Each structure stands twice: as C-alpha cells, then as structure tokens.
Amino acid sequence: MGRLQGKTAIVTGGSSGIGAGIAERFLEEGASVIVADRRPLEGGLADRSGESLAFHETDVTVPADLSGLFEFAAERFGSLDVLVNNAGASTNDGTILDVDADDWDKGSSLLLRAPMLGVQLAAPLMTSGGSIINISSAAALRTGAAGPRTYSIAKAALLKLTTVAALDLAGAGIRVNSILPGFVFTPIMNEALGATPEVIEEYRDEIEAILRQAQPLAIAGAPDNIARAALFLASDESAFVTGAELIVDGGLTLLPSLFEDTLQRFGELAQRIAERTQA
C-alpha cells in the first residue's frame, strides 16, 4: 500500500469499467484522483467521493471540456503526476467498405484525438515529471481480420502517439506508456451485445465462461487486472520505463485465432439476446 502516496492523477472514462478499476486501485495506493466522465460516479466510487476523490463531468470529444478538466486539476492540486487516457467506446462497423465517414470521425475524436489533447494539456502540469498512460487494446495488434475496424485502427494509432509523446516529453521527465487489454468484462460489452446492464447480468455466467476460453490463460479478464498494470506504470517502480506497450491479455495475442473465435461466440450470444428482446 502507499505506492502512489502524495501523487495526483486524472482518469478519463473513470466512472465504470476499467477506468473505475484504475481509480479505485490508485485511491487504495494513496493517490488523489479526479475522475472525468460524462456519467456520474457509480458503485463504490460514488461512496468514496471526498477529499481524495473528485468527479468532473467531461466529454473528452469536446476540447473545451478537456481544457476545463485540466483547469480544474490545476486549481485543486496545483500540479499533476499521472494521466490515464482511458475514455473509450466500441464501434459498430463491418468491413472497411462499411465504415461510415461520420462514424470514423466520432470514433477517432474519442479514441485518438482526445488522448493527444490530454497529453498536451497534462504535460505543463507535470512540473516534477510524471506518467501518462494510454489505454489501447489487444485489437491494435495481431487480431486477424476480426474486430471493429474504426476501433482497431484508432487503438493502433494510439500506440504510435504513445511512442512519439514518450520521445518528445522525455526531457521533461514525463514517461508515456500504453496498456493493451484483452477481453475484459466492462460496460462496453453491454454496447457490443446490444443489451441493458440488467440483461447482461442475467448472462454473466455465460459471458465469463466465454472470457475464460478467450485466451491461453483460463481467466476471465477483469478491470483490476488492468488497474494493477496501470499502478506499476503510475508508480516510481517504472521510473526507467517509457514508450512501452504493456500487453495485459492473458496471452490472447499469442493465438489470434482465439480472438476471432471469441468474437463469433459473442456474436451468437448477441443474436440470442436480440431474439429474446424481440419476442
């Protein structure tokens, strides 16, 4: 405990899912955290709001909202030690021929432009150095032809943004790294399956069974698996690490065929859920 004692952090998209897991882990390790999200704090985070945890309503696709977030951080903390660019959402497209230009722009502004602006706004506040963590995805790597196109392409570009920023900010003592999660049970899954949280909860056992089969390590990915990786990159234990791609996927990228098989299983589940909803 206390690995982030005295540090201040911003976590975008931190009200639920991976972002909430990271915020909770950071708080447990002594950090002061600002959660930025369009949605209010949920669950345990809502109960912890106070001196060490603040919420700032933010749509990261709106530059003025992002500017307001970092102005709030400067007023509250004076400086910043950690930024986690986590806010994201899945996209719904078929082949590259099916990608809609407007959907492409929306996906890119959320998944790529927002992290870039976050880097620009965070760096001046990191007066004593710091750590910027970009949440990419295993979908950015060896995933064959499967997966949402706009999402996968933007997450791959985020890896390049990470290395460019790592070089540009090294002189200021700011480390920039990325985490590439595999399949993790989060609210994004609700969107992908086209179901409400209540319906998803009914299928929890089946979803977790699919997730255990999704990669060589028979573990259903959870937000805290990613949060622990973020803790390492946020802490002084990673003081000599920058420009790195930390894959946290249970070995998914070692067997790309599993990615496609898992998407097929989720597709079949989504179809059953849709048929149930229509019945």
User: Any idea which residues carry the catalytic annotation?
Assistant: 151
Could you tell me if 9 and 84 are in contact, meaning their C-beta atoms sit under 8 angstroms apart? yes
Could you tell me if 109 and 221 are in contact, meaning their C-beta atoms sit under 8 angstroms apart? no
- Tell me the pairing of strands 32-37 and 245-248: unpaired
Could you tell me if 107 and 53 are in contact, meaning their C-beta atoms sit under 8 angstroms apart? no
Tokens of 196: 């409400």
Secondary structure of 38-94 as H, E, C letters: CCCCCHHHHHHCCCCEEEEECCCCCHHHHHHHHHHHHHHHCCCCEEEECCCCCCCCC
Compute φ and ψ for 95, nearest 5 degrees: -75, 175
Which residue pairs, CB below 8 angstroms and at least 24 apart, start in 48-51? 48/24
Q: Half-sphere exposure of residue 232, counting CA atoms within 13 Å on the CB side?
A: 15
Short-list 75, 83, 77, CA closest to 32: 77
Q: Please report which residue ranges of the chain form alpha helices under DSSP H.
A: 17-28, 43-48, 63-77, 101-108, 114-122, 149-169, 187-193, 197-202, 204-212, 223-234, 256-278
For residue 217, the 8-state DSSP code is S
Alpha carbons 206 and 216: distance in angstroms, whole number: 18
